[in-house]
Amino acid sequence: MAKVEKRGSLGKEELRDFFREMLLIRRFEEKVEERFRAGELPGFLHVGIGQEAAAVGVCRALEDGDVIASTHRAHGHTLAKGTPPNELMAELYGKLEGCSHGYGGSMHLYDVERGNMGANAVVGGGLPAITGAALAFKLRAEPRVAVAFFGDGATNIGTFHEALNLAQLWCVPALFVCENNHWAESTPSSQHMPIDDVSKRALAFGMKAVKVDGQDVSAVYSATRRALEHARSGKGPVFLDVETYRLVGHYIGDPQVYRPKDELKDLRERQDPIERLRAELELSDEEFEELDTEVQEIVEAAVEFAKAGTDPRPEDALENVYA
Amino acid sequence: MPELSYREAVRDALSQAMRRDDDVFLMGEDIAEMGGSMGVTQGMLDEFGPERVRNTPISEMALVGAAIGAAMQGMRPVAEVMYQDFLTLATEQIVNQAAKHRYMSGGQVSVPVTFRTQGGAGWSPGAQHAQQLEAWFVHIPGLKVVFPSTPADVRGLLYSSIYDENPVVFFEHRTLYGLKEEASEEIEPIPLGKARIHREGEDVTVIATGRLVHEALAAATDAEEEGLSVEVVDPRTLQPLDEDALVASVKKTNRCVVAHEAVTRMGFGAEVAAVIQYQAFDWLDAPIERVGARFTPLPFAPVMEEWCVPHAKDVLEAIHRTVGRSNGD
């Protein structure tokens, strides 16, 4: 069995800052859902409501120079890695001011300057490149770590196994973060995995594996800090099994016919990472309202920024085509 | 000028790039002690060590994908995929990842990676070790595709591919590794996207790739004895394609044969024929002829394999059809 990490200690101010970030992601994604349903946003959108602690806990533990690869459920990782909400929202509106300049969209969010090497719409598609990025860091003796986000569903695909095998074989500074939300789109883990404990898959490669309560942001943060230290010190990659809950459907508009309604209701009551941290911080209603108002204003401003953004010309589609 | 074999030329391009630049390194199956299944990297482990001549597991998705990830961090990896048939295992990484990161990011990141691979019929390995799959990759926006046919070309083009800022799928032909050609001491990089006219002629242009360049040259020699003057042009880079050179040649000769070892149907030659007919329609005196393999998986038995893939006589017959006569009559 993988080792279960205990909560580390974080200062109250830092935790409060994490709370604000998680709340910003939540309000951002609620707004995305609202604007999508209003017909303003094109494309195929996946929100990670319920998984904010994983995004913030991991990304806040990273150092400058560390890089991430994200998934189709990428808004939280992107914001937590430092992309301004304006640039992210502009991307979702398909504007040139967007973080991928309108070429990527929700499932292909990039911010290379801030270490976001791209969200991937192919499940597991980004994992081998994280092994490769970590190899580059190792070859150049740079103290950097490459981090892949993916879900439990991705642990069934070949790239997962090949990328982890190679990473461990070559002892590269990589961190494989499994956002284990127990669902692969509409398929529960009981139907997609013949084992209960996903970290056994990493242990099979001889990789250090750590389990952590993904709804507890400080636990995620501390586990990530320790994993990064392990990877950065040349001891090899780490697999983080971040147990989390997707409190919404697979995509915006998913009727979730596959999921018992009482299960979702129960999870929302018990496993909302924002409610948990709010209680832990003992925020008064006034304090909460103040933070909430602040982040909602940021989100509203992002929508205004995005709507006022520049539409690409149709023929801009040919930019960056070299062959 | 020294003579280099095609195999030595590939090795020389890799070695010179690696001597010049620490960012260049190799990954692939059996490339270190064994020197690669075709012997291309023999001796390189001794010079560059195991960090830069990296043996990988049999794990095409990971070795190709890791090369992509290293390239996105500014390295210039050369990943060897032992047989091009095995590109199928890594096609997701090549097509969805390597070809698209620069585009999807709106130009924030480039992927300077080279995927070397080889293949080709003529030695009866059966259906899974000798296919010619270059047409799959020329169909993908975001990939450069190179298919050199001579030692000097393979050296100069591989060197340019390594230093290209974008992903290159680099096809070598198995039956050419022993072929020799004079080459300069110093590498002269050959720009991607430039065709080579191997032989000038007046009556028919044969546009050929890979092994078929040599079959076309043999056919051209035979045709000459019949009084036919054949021009042989090798595009060398399939994407981007030197359309100007191909069209100029056909405007001069007014007849065109397109020849490759891959199956004819839906092949690279179909695109070349479309380019020629559109840009040189008024100059054409005959329908464009295509030469390629029959539409079948490659069989094992040598007599069947030999029959399925094209040879010089098939090119010559196509030349005859374009000039409206048979056997030189």
Higher pLDDT, B2 or A318: A318
Per-residue model confidence as pLDDT tens digits over B4-61: 999 999 999 999 999 999 999 999 999 999 999 999 999 999 999 999 999 999 999 9
Pick the closest to residue A148 from A163, A161, A130, A133 (CA basis).
A130
Q: Is the pLDDT of residue A247 over 70?
A: yes
Which of B72, B96, B141 is facing A117, going by the closest CB pair?
A: B72
CA A65-A66-A72 angle, 5° bins: 130
Instruction: Please name the residue of chain A whose CA is at the shortest distance from the CA of residue B110.
Output: A320
Which of B54, B69, B103 is facing A129, going by the closest CB pair?
A: B69
pLDDT for the residue B1: 79
Instruction: Please name the residue of chain B whose CA is at the shortest distance from the CA of residue A101.
Output: B106
pLDDT for the residue B2: 87
Torsions phi, psi of B198, nearest 5?
Answer: -80, -30
Instruction: Please name the residue of chain B whose CA is at the shortest distance from the CA of residue A114.
Output: B108
User: Is the Cβ–Cβ distance between A70 and A78 less than 8 Å?
Assistant: yes
Q: How near does any CA of chain A get to the CA of B51, in Å?
A: 8
Q: How far is CA A57 from CA A272, B149, B238, B256, in A?
A: 15, 54, 47, 64
Tokens in use for A254?
């998913």
CB pairs under 8 A between A and B: 146
Which of B72, B75, B143 is facing A323, going by the closest CB pair?
A: B143
Per-residue model confidence as pLDDT tens digits over A204-242: 999 999 999 999 999 999 999 999 999 999 999 999 999
Report chain B residues whose CB lies below 8 A from the CB of A133.
69-70, 72-73
pLDDT for the residue A6: 46
| Cβ-based burial of A270 (10 A; exposed 0-12, middle 13-18, buried ≥19) | exposed
Instruction: Please name the residue of chain B whose CA is at the shortest distance from the CA of residue A120.
Output: B97
> HSE-up of B147 (CA within 13 Å, CB side)?
29
The residues of B annotated as belonging to the active site are: 60, 129
Q: How near does any CA of chain A get to the CA of B58, in Å?
A: 9
**Residue A229: strand, helix, or coil:** helix
* Contact criterion met (CB < 8 Å) for A110 and B104: yes
Q: Which sign does the torsion angle of CA B72, B74, B78, B79 carry?
A: negative
Match 């032989």 to its residue by tokens.
B199
Q: Which sign does the torsion angle of CA A230, A233, A237, A242 carry?
A: positive
B101 inside 8 A of chain A by CB: yes
Task: Give yes or no for a cis peptide into B141 (omega within 30° of 0).
Answer: no
Instruction: Report the residue of B24, B26, B108, B139 to disrupt the A interface, i.e. the one with the largest count of A CBs within 10 Å.
Output: B108
Report chain A residues whose CB lies below 8 A from the CB of B72.
117, 129, 132-133
Q: How near does any CA of chain B get to the CA of A13, in Å?
A: 34
Q: Is the pLDDT of residue A295 over 80?
A: yes
Instruction: Report the residue of B61, B111, B166 to disrupt the A interface, i.e. the one with the largest count of A CBs within 10 Å.
Output: B61
Report chain A residues whose CB lies below 8 A from the CB of B61.
128, 158-159, 162-163
Instruction: Please name the residue of chain B whose CA is at the shortest distance from the CA of residue A65.
Output: B73
Which of A111, A128, A320 is facing B65, going by the closest CB pair?
A: A128
* Contact criterion met (CB < 8 Å) for B109 and A319: no
* Contact criterion met (CB < 8 Å) for B66 and A110: no
pLDDT for the residue A10: 86
Give dist(CA A168, CA A207) in Å, integer: 6
Report chain A residues whose CB lies below 8 A from the CB of B66.
128-129, 131-132, 135, 163, 166
**Residue A141: strand, helix, or coil:** coil
CA B19-B154-B138 angle, 5° bins: 115
* DSSP code for A152: G
Query: Does residue A50 come out as left (phi exceeding 0), alpha (psi in the -120 to 50 range) or beta?
Result: left
Strand residues in chain B grouped as ranges (E): 3-5, 24-28, 53-55, 76-81, 114-119, 144-146, 168-173, 180-182, 196-199, 204-208, 230-234, 237-239, 256-263, 289-293
**Could you list the pLDDT tens digit for every one of the 329 residues in chain B?**
789 999 999 999 999 999 999 999 999 999 999 999 999 999 999 999 999 999 999 999 999 999 999 999 999 999 999 999 999 999 999 999 999 999 999 999 999 999 999 999 999 999 999 999 999 999 999 999 999 999 999 999 999 999 999 999 999 999 999 999 999 989 999 999 999 999 999 999 999 999 999 999 999 999 999 999 999 999 999 999 999 999 999 999 999 999 999 999 999 999 999 999 999 999 999 999 999 999 999 999 999 999 999 999 999 999 999 998 544 44
Which of A113, A132, A134 is facing B67, going by the closest CB pair?
A: A132
Per-residue model confidence as pLDDT tens digits over A1-16: 455 554 457 899 999 9
Q: How near does any CA of chain B get to the CA of A162, in Å?
A: 5
Pick the closest to residue B65 from A202, A134, A107 (CA basis).
A134
User: Is the Cβ–Cβ distance between A23 and A292 less than 8 Å?
Assistant: yes
pLDDT for the residue B329: 46
In this predicted complex, what is the ipTM?
Answer: 0.95
Instruction: Please name the residue of chain B whose CA is at the shortest distance from the CA of residue A148.
Output: B69
B144 inside 8 A of chain A by CB: yes
A257 inside 8 A of chain B by CB: no
A115 inside 8 A of chain B by CB: no
pLDDT for the residue B325: 58
* Percentage, residues of chain B above pLDDT 90: 97
Per-residue model confidence as pLDDT tens digits over A86-101: 999 999 999 999 999 9
- In terms of DSSP bridges, do strands A238-243 and A174-180 run parallel, antiparallel, or are they unpaired? parallel
